[in-house]
Amino acid sequence: MRSTLHISKRSCLNWMCMAACLVVIQTSCKKDKNTRPDYPVGSNENINTWILDSLKRYYYWTESLPAKPNLSIAPKEFFTSIRSGSDRFSYIILPNDPASYPPSSRGKYGFDYSTVKELNTGQVIGVIRQVLSESPASRNGLKRGDLIRKINGKLLSEANAETLQAELLASNQVSLGLAELSGNSLVDTRSVEVSTGVILDQREISRILESGGRTIGYLNFDTFNPGLAGSLLNVFANFKGSGISDLILDLRYNGGGQVAEAAGLCTLIAGLPYDKPFITYRGNKNGGTRTESIGSAATFDGTVNFSTLLQNNLGLTKVYILGTGATASASEVMINNLKPYIQVILIGEKTRGKDEASFRIFDDRKPKLVDWEMHPIIYKLFNAAGNGGYSNGIGPDISVNELETLPLLPFGDVNDPLIKAALSRITGKTKVALSALKQDRAGAFKIGSVLTNTHLLATENSIVITHR
């Protein structure tokens, strides 16, 4: 989910004045009619000129922009044609045109799945990895761990896995043929029809776990939406009142969001003072370099009081974070930017690798002349120790692939392989637990390769959101 913060024109003149949310950009430079044609409003040339002018000012790779691009082509094609070859994540949309948005199984139906191939038999199945509450998927009885054998009546195979995923993402209704494992065999169970519909905001999942004589907090939330830190104050107050000694933060499918909320969560975990350096933004020649404190980052949008965050902080010196390839953006900011201050133990898989930030660029002229909105990369990100450069992902300290143990269990279940690995590390029984896990896998359905992953696809367009 994305949100915007509308600020005054005076604030717009100083694009480095804040740092934690989306912002409005006004690009109303006067044209020199002696050097630039006066293109008709609404024409590709007019829109693309606005795109190019905006990118020249804010784009991280502004020096790579072509001097004389083809302004006559469609805006989306134009934007793609002038992007830097180093740019993996910038995108452009029409806010009122759903077709211009990146496709998302989660956004349409409320679930994400991976198509996997079994190592020994070559069987192909879809594994539902997440089902959002109060979504079309949950209302039709789907749950995490369900297995998909057919999509729209077609048996999944290695040859058609990507085609059927594209078919699912392109339509507004899908038929899923479910199955369950009986030993190494798949047995068909039922068919489910799911249509697009309303998906409500997701609540966090929190638990108090007891293991090896220790009291451990577990927290899973879906995105770093505006107001997240404030909404979790009661959760952290409960953790604090319960006297937890350790915290497991489950970000395995968290695609990120606002820097402000990442800073707020770091404050609740570690209790860092207001003026501790938290994040450094490095932009182009116009943006320069700016370092921001954790207090400034956490409170700039006014959704939470920093003193309130400190009152509920856990004062931990260590945190266990669960991650996968779908852990991206602000989730990675938390992992990287806590490291100068406390020990961060990452469990699971290598993260997505989004060490870059953006803010939304759109036309704020009166009247508006361009409907398109851009989300270009504006900054590279670094922590208080000057460390960044994790574009290839952040590697785990303890490597665990949740798909190696089916069926997938509900979030917060102590037998979930990622949670089990964290509990084992906390209680000092890591070797024993890993040995038991290997025995559990013996003779089981073994994942040979992942063919498709809708959650990974969705993280292509989740960018760390900051301000100008």
> Of the candidates 100, 129, 146, which is a domain's last residue?
100
Same domain, 437 and 448: no
Same domain, 172 and 214: no
Residue 463 belongs to a domain: no
Same domain, 232 and 189: no
The three-state secondary structure class of 354 is: coil
Domain of residue 165, CATH code: 2.30.42.10
- State residue 435's pLDDT score: 53
> Of the candidates 52, 83, 100, which is a domain's last residue?
100
Same domain, 34 and 173: no
Same domain, 403 and 328: yes
- State residue 101's pLDDT score: 85
Q: How far is the C-alpha of 83 from the C-alpha of 379, rounded, in Å? A: 15
Same domain, 212 and 336: yes
Residue 367 belongs to a domain: no
Residue 141 belongs to a domain: yes
Residue 280 belongs to a domain: yes
- State residue 119's pLDDT score: 85
Q: How many residues does the chain have?
A: 468
Return per-residue pLDDT of the chain as tens, 468 residues.
333 333 333 333 344 333 333 333 344 444 444 567 889 999 999 999 999 999 999 999 999 999 999 999 999 999 999 999 999 999 999 999 988 888 899 999 999 999 999 888 889 999 999 999 999 999 999 999 999 999 999 999 999 999 999 999 999 999 999 999 887 788 999 999 999 999 988 999 999 999 999 999 999 999 999 999 999 999 999 999 999 999 999 999 999 999 999 999 999 999 999 999 999 999 999 999 999 999 999 998 888 999 999 999 999 999 999 999 999 999 999 999 999 999 999 999 999 999 999 999 999 999 999 999 999 999 999 999 999 999 999 999 999 999 988 899 999 999 999 999 999 999 998 655 555 555 454 446 788 899 999 998 888 767 788 865
Residue 368 belongs to a domain: no
> Of the candidates 68, 100, 132, which is a domain's last residue?
100
Same domain, 293 and 404: yes
Same domain, 260 and 350: yes
Q: How far is the C-alpha of 3 from the C-alpha of 238, rounded, in Å? A: 29
Interval 213-242: pLDDT, tens: 999 999 999 999 999 999 999 999 999 999
Q: How many domains does the chain have?
A: 3
Same domain, 187 and 250: no
Residue entry with tokens 């789907």: 142
Q: What share of the chain is helix, strand, coil (3-state, %, to 5)?
A: 30, 25, 45
8 Å CB contact between 2 and 358? no
Same domain, 26 and 90: yes
Domain of residue 401, CATH code: 3.90.226.10
Phi/psi of residue 171, nearest 5 degrees: -100, 175
- Give the domain range for residue 237: 205-357+378-441
Task: Report the DSSP beta bridge partners of residue 127.
Answer: 114, 147
Q: How far is the C-alpha of 383 from the C-alpha of 33, rounded, in Å? A: 45
Whole-number CA gyration radius for the chain: 23
Same domain, 172 and 77: no
8 Å CB contact between 462 and 328? yes
Residue 239 belongs to a domain: yes
Same domain, 14 and 60: yes
Strands (E), 298-444: 318-323, 343-348, 356-358, 361-362, 373-375, 379-382, 398-399
Residue 256 belongs to a domain: yes
Residue 395 belongs to a domain: yes
Exposure letters 193-215 (e unless 16+ CB within 10 A, then b) = ebebeebeebeebbbebebeeee
Instruction: Say whether the peptide bond before residue 69 is cis (omega within 30 degrees of 0).
Output: no
